[in-house]
Structure 1
Amino acid sequence: MKKNKSLILLGLSSALFLSSMVTTSQAEAPAPGFSSDPVITKSYFDQNTLSEAKVKDLIASALAANAGTSQPSGSNGGSDTTATTAAMTVVQMKPGQTLYAGAGAEFIVRSGNVIAVSSDENGIPDVTGGKDIAAGSEIATNHLLIFPRDGRGIKPAAKNTADIYVMVRGNYLLMNQDGSTATP
């Protein structure tokens, strides 16, 4: 009984579909190439698509147009409020130095053992690890750190023997152990 009802419904829907197709005249058909007619011809497609060379030309011209509007790159200056670009700077730390971040700066420790430094009880957000790193805690390499405020940074761990390289985006201040400003 269920099979018969299914076959009857299928037959009725097919008949309705076919009858609607037969009653549509050529005069009622939409013009090719419009949104009411999504099927296109190969020649229309070839005329209205971008080639790889055309895309490269468009990108090159857009980059050339924006070449004169880039902002100055990051500086070493702690709380300096100058604008920075998206470029990252590689900083090499020596034993006894501390690398302080400006507000909004980002660090990625690429090599060496470092620990977190903070002038208050707040830690450093480790975006990769999904946690806050408290002052004095070791920082894993290749983790993205974001510094919401000035006064936080990193310094070499006591057990460190390797060269320390840090990728930095934003403002920073590299200080020697005696409190003088180091040059990167």
Structure 2
Amino acid sequence: MKKWTSLIAFSLLAMLLFVGHALGVQFLSTVPGSTDDPLVTKSYVDELLKSYTPQQNTGNITALEQEMTRKMTEYEQKIQTLINNASGQIGGNELIVVQLFPGDILIGVAGTEIIVRSGKTMIVAEENGIPDVTAGKDLGKGTVVPHNHQLLVPRADGRGIVADQASTLPVYVMVRGGYELRKVQ
């Protein structure tokens, strides 16, 4: 009897091992390159890429290109405006020395500080003058600028100083902020 029990037990164990192995092979092994394969293969990626066509995104790409072009134009205009507002500006807070020859005109932008160090200069302005911060008064058009007085240009409306044309010596000026040099016409 013991023999038959051992034989049945061994047969059941063998059958369970065979069925377990068959199920394990079926569920654990997948076809390489299939969607069930846990490792992505080149063939799987190639199959996915075949389903995408460039025409699907053409409209979206065109809209994005137009938006990007519009934004670039907008930023270029902003940059150009900033460059124009800062023309002549060097070093931000630094006072720079500018040499003016007879007849040269230095036109400041809003906030430009001018200090005449040597030579004879006069105020250039349309209507209002330029504030002399040192003396606490307004210097009108044609007024001679005193040496070592700080002038502050209030607006970018063509105000500045002109080096005396009758002089033969250059004028030295310290400037902080944006400015433009012109010749008398």
Structure 1 length as normaliser, TM-score?
A: 0.50
Tell me, yes or no, if the aligned pair for 1:127 and 1:144 is still in contact at 8 Å.
Answer: yes
Letter in 1 for 2:107: Y
Larger helix fraction of residues: 2
Q: Deviations over 1:7-42 (max 9, x none)?
A: xxxxxxxxxxxxxxxxxxxxxxxxxxxxxxxxxxxx
User: Which residues of structure 1 form unaligned runs of 5+?
Assistant: 1-76, 179-184
Q: Deviations over 1:127-176 (max 9, x none)?
A: 01110000011000100000001110000224433320000000000012
Give aligned pairs, total.
101
2:178 matches 1:163? no
Change (3 A) 1:79 1:145: farther
Pick from 117, 124, 127: which aligns with 1:117?
Answer: 124
CA–CA separation in structure 2 for the residues paired with 1:131 and 1:78? 32
What does residue 145 of structure 1 align with? 151
What does residue 80 of structure 1 align with? 85
Tell me, yes or no, if the aligned pair for 1:108 and 1:166 is still in contact at 8 Å.
Answer: yes
What does residue 98 of structure 2 align with? 91
> Residue 148 of structure 2 aligns to a residue in which SS?
coil
2:142 matches 1:136? yes
CA–CA separation in structure 1 for the residues paired with 2:129 and 2:112? 14
> Residue 117 of structure 2 aligns to a residue in which SS?
strand
User: Which residues of structure 2 form unaligned runs of 5+?
Assistant: 1-81
Query: Which has the higher Rg, Structure 1 or Structure 2?
Result: 2
Q: State, as a whole percentage, how many aligned pairs show the same letter.
A: 45
CA–CA separation in structure 1 for the residues paired with 2:165 and 2:92? 33
Q: CA deviation at 1:79?
A: 5.6
What does residue 104 of structure 1 align with? 111
CA RMSD of aligned residues (A): 2.3
CA–CA separation in structure 1 for the residues paired with 2:102 and 2:160? 15
> Residue 104 of structure 1 aligns to a residue in which SS?
coil
CA–CA separation in structure 2 for the residues paired with 1:121 and 1:79? 24
CA–CA separation in structure 1 for the residues paired with 2:116 and 2:127? 22
Change (3 A) 1:92 1:107: same
Letter in 1 for 2:112: A
Q: CA deviation at 1:122?
A: 0.4
